[in-house]
């Protein structure tokens, strides 16, 4: 729950649902879904979401020097960078000739572009000092229909191969690797297979498994077609019939159900409709991920043909990045490529064509499904999105940079003029559309509103007219100097900081490069921004911003006829129509089937399930290369931390500091505990956090404040943090200001936070209403798209005060509270303002209730002590304020009643959760070994039963070692009852589990990989803060590590016993599902006494 102005550079790749990345790994949905959300869904809150994509767009992400920044290096190659391979050796020994070699100073990297002489495959070998090594294989995979063949193939090739002939090498790697990234992506025109690891041996293991998978997958093996077809049916689609009753005939398949979930999301439907309307004649005019209505038209033969046509070295672009040996890279690749000959015909077939520009604008109307209840409640709100194709081909770098800045100024913050004009109009509830999208061959621009009254066409037309008139006005009048300065500082800060969070820098750089490379453009050009940035600044001076940006707006937007306005309207009967269409196809098959046909289908169903449920022999699993326990550090990683006290006005304030090299950037958190926040105001805390940076102050309106933050800092946000505490019933809850600034501007950073605390303007009814509507819109979208997180939140809220608080602030209860708040704003806004003021009064005081957290090098930390002291001095003293009972865990009314519940939303899939407490209800002793057990349970039993057999996109278990809460959850799940049966079988699976030494070692290593997750200095400093707040010491962490490393099979059995006891005595179910699935579950599982509740 956060509001932010500023950003943390995030993932490269598709930047909203339209340019859809389809990711293979839905198994760890709690992690993956969060990652995809950052990749796919653009934040509607200020700069936080927008600017990370501009940082991406403007080539901000790559390279690592054990620091947070990638400040421009000298023109000379760093002596510590591995030397490139001698050209004669590369050609004569490995068959690679150098096409181009260049030092990219922006990332301190020597880049060598090779071409393999035998196949024409290309390799970009990037040499630098980044320990987080990255590899990728990328294929151009254009399609002609929406059967989803590249998406299904992306899933399937990782299900066994020539050297690794087991069912799922991918899952075995998840179980046993120290990887920092392991996944695969399907774009509308390409498929990517990236891996990353900081351990060199582990890295090369991952590379070899992936190379064998893409070139020699079991799923297209001609010598054993039945085995290959089973993979296709499992990952793609198949008919399933368990009984002689033909009415039970249904479609199953992981991708089939994944895409049902995607098509249940109105935002995803909007993205698909917009893309296909803009590009009706080329590959972007169909869905490479697959339309559930068309997926079942794909035959196994077509699937195999697609692999033969496109998965060839001649159609491959390889990427290596990091500090490993450059020659070893060539050796690994040549061992595979030497088996192939050039296939120029395949290369020609894979070329991505361009869409011919339209002669005049178009309007397209389509529909998304809503429930009948939503229609009756007057919630039939439309999406209106105005979209352009900007150019005939990829932008040149100069135009890309200029339009990237324009995009940021138009839409980058809540105060940006185009975004503000749309929100201020009151025509809709939230902005939709992603602005500039330049990941595909032809760049696009998209903007509009959702939550538009669909009762008349006039309302829809007003949105289009407003977009066009605002753009015309801005082209004429230009932008203020402050807005331009803020945009320049914000984007340049991100370029130089090069902060990709936990996402490997090498991978983000690869995806950026591919946006040109797969279209036969120079792969190095997108990586070089320093000279272009300087030239852009000079151009701003020479042409004036008004002319430069005005010309861009007129050429690419106002005067551009390749424009499509999409009106996406609600339809209360659409879901029934889709269900009827699916059943109609099945009915045709039922009518044509004889008894022998049904018996044959039942036999195939049994065979497939037997195959899925039968584990690989232990001996076969030894083919997967792994590390040894001796390769794993015995000591836990420590974060340098120093705790001191600062005195102000008789109050003592803790200052936690972390001496790490950050290249003159200060990462700072000011944390204020929530112990005095009244329980009845908890639901307001997330909105209050947004108010702090998005409502302005008594001195500056919110546009001026936003621009000031952009000019003076690298980003600033306000966030709430809540967590349970070990061995306590109470809560640790804080509201934090979190941000960053260069050391010379840290006084400005402190001054901004001080102004906000003292002078925030809370009495702005129109602005506050806008934020409430945006919040409701966002929660409605996530309830359909990320229902598992809401189900898990509900289950936690039945157990402890921290979960109860999180549910009120951001769960279903929070959503319902927002809807009530919307009405209250109109009826009694004065009382709302009084509540917001009460929150401010209860939070912002100096003393033992606050903490300062700083991350920078020691010299910088010393230089800013005066600024920190001045900030603390500016705060009022706490006075006599008691601690609220909810905070102490003594107010049980904050908890939800323990019951089994079904939360109904318009969806084609379910998100099924179940939870219990292993400490309280299973008497499990706290131990690090529980992390090993939980991880293995997710990657074995739950993966096999919920995903592989059940067809869900993901299924996993999550264990909170602090509180003992163990939660099951599924993601985009076609089932409900059978998933609960799988959960209940987990305990017996663990109690009977037999693991040999190798399997146990793999499980331990993978767990250590999670514990030692890769992070940059800002995240390490924040992690140390959280540990301090929760009382987690280095000694305790070392104890847990020792317990992880000494895990035995007995620990699995004891965990199973505790889980069995806890599930039987005190467990609950919460599922987000459809109305029909809820009715079926209530009928079939009457013993659970489900309470059904319509949410949307």
- Give a three-class secondary structure readout of 768-791: HHHHHHHHHHHHHHHHHHCHHHHH
Spatial separation of the C-alpha atoms in residues 55 and 271, rounded to whole Å:
22
Half-sphere exposure of 736 (CA within 13 A, CB side): 23
Place of tokens 């109009």: 425
Q: Checking phi first, is residue 715 left (phi over 0); if not, alpha (psi -120 to 50) or beta?
A: left
Contact 742, 665 (CB under 8 A): yes
Which position among 30, 154, 233, 813 bears the catalytic label? 154
Q: Phi then psi for 111, rounded to 5 degrees?
A: -115, 125
- Residue holding tokens 């590959």? 283
SS3 98: strand
Residue with tokens 């991978």: 507
DSSP, res 1086: G
How far, in Å, CA of 662 to CA of 664, rounded?
Answer: 6
The two beta strands, 190-197 and 954-959, are unpaired
DSSP-derived secondary structure for 392-407: SSSPPHHHHHHHHHHH
Nearest in space to 589 (alpha carbons), one of 909, 251, 149, 303? 251
Closest CA to 552 of 565, 564, 539, 566: 539
Alpha-carbon span 898 to 804, nearest angstrom? 12
Residue 634's SS3 state is coil
Distance CA 1095, CA 776 (A): 12
* 3-state helix, strand and coil shares in percent for the chain, rounded to the nearest 5: 50, 20, 30
Catalytic site residue 472?
A: no
In order of 398, 496, 536, 898, 901, the CA distances from 531 in angstroms are 10, 13, 9, 61, 59
SS3 317: strand
Report how far apart, in Å, the C-alpha atoms of 1071 and of each of 166, 731, 788, 975, 1091 are: 33, 26, 8, 11, 11
- Catalytically annotated residue among 106, 172, 221, 235: 235
| Distance (Å) of CA 212 to CA 150, 161, 225, 311, 718 | 18, 6, 18, 12, 47
Give kind and range of the element (H or E) at residue 488: helix 481-497
**Cα–Cα distance, 218 to 684 (Å, whole number):** 54
CA 576 to chain centre: 31
**3-class DSSP state of 1064:** helix
Q: For 897-1029, list the strands marked E by DSSP.
A: 901-904, 911-917, 954-959, 965-971
DSSP H or E segment with residue 708: helix 702-712
Q: Where are the beta strands (DSSP E) in 725-826?
A: 731-742
Which secondary-structure segment (H or E) carries 1006?
A: helix 997-1011
138, 145 Cβ separation under 8 angstroms: no
- Non-local (6+) Cβ contacts of 517 within 8 A are 122, 124, 138, 317, 523
In this structure, what are the phi and psi dihedrals at residue 463, rounded to the nearest 5 degrees?
-65, -50
Structure tokens given for 748: 């400005």
Dig out the tokens for 111 from the structure: 């880049």
Distance separating alpha carbons of residues 1076 and 305, to the nearest angstrom: 38
Residue 62: what are its φ and ψ, rounded to 5°? Answer: 175, 170
- Establish whether 458 is a catalytic residue: no
Catalytic residue numbers read 154, 235
């Amino acid at each position: 729950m956060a509001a932010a102005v500023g950003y943390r550079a995030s993932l490269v790749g598709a930047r909203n649902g339209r340019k859809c990345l389809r990711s293979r790994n839905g198994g760890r949905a709690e992690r993956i879904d969060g990652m995809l959300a950052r990749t796919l869904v653009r934040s509607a809150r200020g700069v936080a979401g927008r600017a990370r994509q501009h940082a991406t767009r403007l080539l901000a992400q790559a390279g690592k020097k054990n620091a947070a920044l990638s400040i421009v290096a000298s023109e000379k190659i760093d002596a510590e960078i591995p030397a490139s391979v001698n050209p004669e050796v590369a050609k004569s020994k490995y068959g690679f000739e150098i096409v181009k070699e260049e030092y990219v100073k922006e990332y301190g990297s020597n880049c060598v572009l090779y071409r393999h002489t035998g196949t024409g495959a290309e390799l970009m070998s990037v040499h630098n000092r980044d320990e987080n090594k990255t590899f990728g294989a990328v294929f151009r995979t254009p399609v002609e229909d929406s059967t989803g063949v590249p998406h299904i193939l992306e899933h399937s090739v990782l299900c066994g191969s020539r050297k690794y002939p087991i069912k799922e090498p991918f899952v075995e790697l998840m179980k046993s690797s120290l990887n920092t990234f392991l996944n695969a992506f399907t774009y509308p025109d390409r498929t990517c297979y990236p891996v990353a690891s900081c351990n060199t041996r582990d890295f090369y293991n991952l590379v070899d498994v992936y190379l064998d998978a893409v070139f020699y997958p079991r799923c297209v093996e001609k010598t054993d077609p039945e085995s290959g077809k089973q993979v296709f049916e499992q990952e793609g689609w198949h008919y399933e019939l368990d009984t002689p009753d033909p009415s039970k005939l249904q479609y199953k398949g992981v991708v089939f159900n994944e895409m049902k979930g995607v098509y249940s999301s109105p935002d995803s439907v909007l993205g698909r409709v917009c893309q296909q309307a803009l590009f009706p004649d080329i590959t972007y005019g169909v869905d490479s991920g697959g339309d559930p209505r068309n997926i079942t038209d794909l035959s196994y033969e077509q699937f195999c043909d697609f692999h033969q046509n496109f998965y060839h070295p001649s159609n491959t672009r390889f990427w290596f990045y990091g500090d490993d040996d450059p020659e070893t890279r060539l050796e690994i690749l040549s061992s595979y490529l030497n088996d192939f000959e050039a296939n120029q015909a395949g290369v020609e077939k894979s070329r991505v064509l361009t869409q011919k520009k339209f002669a005049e604008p178009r309007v397209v109307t389509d529909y998304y499904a809503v429930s009948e209840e939503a229609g009756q409640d007057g919630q039939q709100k439309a999406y209106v999105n105005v979209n352009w194709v900007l150019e005939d081909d990829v932008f040149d770098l100069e135009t890309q940079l200029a339009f990237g800045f324009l995009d940021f100024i138009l839409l980058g913050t809540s105060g940006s003029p185009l975004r503000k004009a749309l929100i201020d109009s009151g025509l809709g509830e939230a902005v939709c559309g992603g602005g500039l999208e330049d990941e595909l061959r032809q760049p696009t621009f998209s903007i509009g509103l959702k939550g538009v009254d669909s009762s008349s066409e006039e309302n829809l037309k007003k949105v289009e007219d407003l977009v066009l008139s605002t753009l015309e006005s801005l082209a004429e009048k230009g932008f203020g100097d402050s807005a331009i300065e803020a945009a320049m500082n914000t984007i340049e800060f991100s370029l130089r900081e090069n902060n990709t969070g936990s996402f490997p820098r090498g991978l983000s750089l690869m995806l950026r490069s591919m946006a040109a490379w797969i279209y036969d453009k120079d792969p190095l050009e997108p990586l070089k921004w320093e000279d272009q940035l300087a030239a852009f600044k000079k151009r701003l001076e020479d042409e004036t911003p008004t002319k430069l940006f005005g010309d861009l707006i007129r050429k690419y937007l106002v005067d551009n006829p390749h424009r499509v306005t999409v009106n996406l309207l609600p339809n209360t009967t659409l879901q029934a129509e889709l269900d009827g269409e699916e059943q109609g196809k099945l009915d045709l098959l039922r009518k044509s089937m004889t008894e022998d046909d049904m018996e044959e289908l039942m036999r195939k169903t049994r065979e497939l399930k037997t195959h899925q449920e039968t584990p690989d022999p232990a001996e076969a699993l030894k083919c997967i290369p792994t590390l040894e326990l001796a390769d794993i550090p015995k000591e836990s990683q420590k974060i340098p931390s120093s705790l001191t006290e600062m005195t102000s006005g008789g109050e003592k304030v803790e200052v936690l500091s972390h001496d790490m090299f950050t290249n003159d950037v200060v990462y700072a958190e000011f944390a204020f505990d929530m112990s005095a926040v009244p329980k009845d105001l908890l639901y307001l805390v997330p909105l209050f956090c947004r108010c702090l940076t998005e409502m302005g102050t008594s001195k500056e309106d919110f546009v001026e404040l936003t621009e000031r933050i952009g000019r003076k800092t690298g980003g600033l946000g306000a966030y709430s943090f809540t967590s349970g505490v070990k061995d306590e019933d109470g809560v640790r809850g804080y509201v934090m200001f979190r941000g960053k600034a260069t050391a010379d501007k840290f006084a400005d950073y402190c001054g901004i936070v001080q102004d906000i605390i003292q002078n925030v303007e809370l009495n702005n009814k129109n602005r506050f209403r806008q934020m409430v509507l945006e919040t409701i819109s966002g929660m409605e979208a996530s309830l359909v798209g990320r229902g598992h997180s809401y189900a898990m939140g509900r289950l936690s809220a039945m157990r402890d005060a921290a979960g109860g608080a999180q549910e009120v602030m951001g769960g279903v209860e929070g959503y319902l509270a927002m809807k009530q708040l919307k009405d209250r704003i109109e009826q009694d806004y004065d009382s709302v303002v009084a509540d917001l003021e009460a929150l401010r009064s209860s939070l912002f005081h100096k003393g033992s209730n606050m903490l300062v957290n700083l991350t920078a090098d020691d010299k910088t930390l010393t230089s800013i002590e005066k600024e920190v002291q001045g900030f603390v001095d500016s705060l009022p003293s706490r006075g006599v304020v008691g601690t609220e009972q909810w905070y102490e865990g003594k107010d049980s009314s904050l908890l939800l009643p323990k019951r089994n519940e079904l939360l109904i939303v318009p969806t084609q899939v379910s998100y099924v959760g179940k939870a219990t407490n292993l400490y309280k209800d299973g008497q499990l002793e706290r131990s690090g070994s529980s992390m090993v057990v939980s991880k293995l349970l997710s990657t074995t039993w739950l993966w096999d039963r919920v995903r592989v057999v059940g067809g869900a996109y993901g299924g996993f278990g999550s264990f909170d070692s602090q509180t003992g809460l163990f939660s099951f959850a599924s993601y985009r799940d076609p089932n409900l009852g059978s998933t609960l049966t799988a959960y209940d079988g987990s305990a017996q699976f663990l109690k009977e589990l037999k693991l040999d030494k190798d399997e146990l070692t793999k499980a331990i290593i993978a767990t250590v990989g999670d514990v030692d997750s890769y992070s940059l200095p800002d995240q390490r400093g924040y992690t140390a803060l959280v540990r301090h707040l929760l009382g987690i010491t280095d000694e305790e962490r070392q104890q847990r590590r020792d317990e992880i490393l000494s895990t035995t099979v007995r620990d699995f059995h004891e965990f199973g016993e505790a889980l069995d006891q806890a599930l039987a005595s005190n467990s609950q179910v919460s599922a987000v599902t459809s109305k029909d699935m809820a009715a079926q579950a209530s009928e079939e599982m009457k013993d659970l006494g489900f309470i059904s509740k319509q949410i949307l």
